[in-house]
Amino acid sequence: MTLRVGLTYNLKRKVEDDGLPEDFYAEFDDESTVNAIASALRKGGCRVIKIEADEDAYAKLRRYRPDIVFNIAEGLRGESRESHIPAMLEMLGIPYTGSNPATLAICLDKAMTHKVLSACGIPSPKFQVFKRPGEELSGELNFPLVVKPLLEGSSKGIRSSSLVKDEESLRRQVSWVIKTYRQPAIVEEFMPGREFTVGLIGNEEPVVLPIVEICLERLPSGASPIYSYEAKWVWDTPENPLEIFECPAKIPGDLKREIEEIAIKTFKVLNCRDVCRIDMRLDSEGVPRVLEVNPLPGLIPDPKAHSCLPEAARAAGFTYDELICTILWQALKRYGLQGLFKGKHLVKIP
Positions that interact with ligand ADP (CB under 6 A): 125, 146, 148, 152-156, 158, 188-191, 195, 226-227, 279, 281, 291-292
Q: Characterise 65 by phi-psi region: left (phi > 0), alpha (psi -120 to 50), beta (else).
A: left
Give the CB-nearest residue to ligand ADP: 227
In angstroms, what is the minimal distance from the CB of 223 to ligand ADP? Answer: 11
Nearer residue to ligand ADP within complex by CB, 216 or 340: 216
- DSSP-H helix ranges across 167-301: 167-181, 229, 253-269
In angstroms, what is the minimal distance from the CB of 335 to ligand ADP? Answer: 29
Nearer residue to Mg ion within complex by CB, 34 or 226: 226
From residue 174, how far is each of 44, 130, 142, 167, 180 by CA, in Å?
47, 7, 16, 10, 10
In angstroms, what is the minimal distance from the CB of 141 to Mg ion? Answer: 20
Give the CB-nearest residue to Mg ion: 279
Nearer residue to ligand ADP within complex by CB, 84 or 281: 281
In angstroms, what is the minimal distance from the CB of 186 to ligand ADP? Answer: 9
Which of Mg ion, ligand ADP, none has residue 154 at its interface (CB below 5 to 8 Å by kind)? Answer: ligand ADP
Nearer residue to ligand ADP within complex by CB, 125 or 343: 125
Q: Please state whether beta strands 4-9 and 163-164 pair in parallel, antiparallel, or not at all (unpaired).
A: unpaired
**What is the 8-class DSSP label of residue 172?**
H
In angstroms, what is the minimal distance from the CB of 261 to ligand ADP? Answer: 20
Q: 284 — phi, psi (to 5°)? A: -65, -20
Nearer residue to ligand ADP within complex by CB, 67 or 311: 311
Which of ligand ADP, Mg ion, none has residue 57 at its interface (CB below 5 to 8 Å by kind)? Answer: none
In the complex, the residues that contact Mg ion under the rule CB under 5 A are 279
**Cα–Cα distance between 213 and 203 in angstroms, integer?**
24
**Cα–Cα distance between 288 and 134 in angstroms, integer?**
32
CA dihedral of residues 300, 25, 30, 206 (deg, nearest 10): 30
Strand order in the sheet with 127-130: 127-130, 185-189, 145-149, 163-164
In angstroms, what is the minimal distance from the CB of 308 to ligand ADP? Answer: 10
Which of Mg ion, ligand ADP, none has residue 67 at its interface (CB below 5 to 8 Å by kind)? Answer: none
Distance of CA 101 to the CA centre of its chain: 15
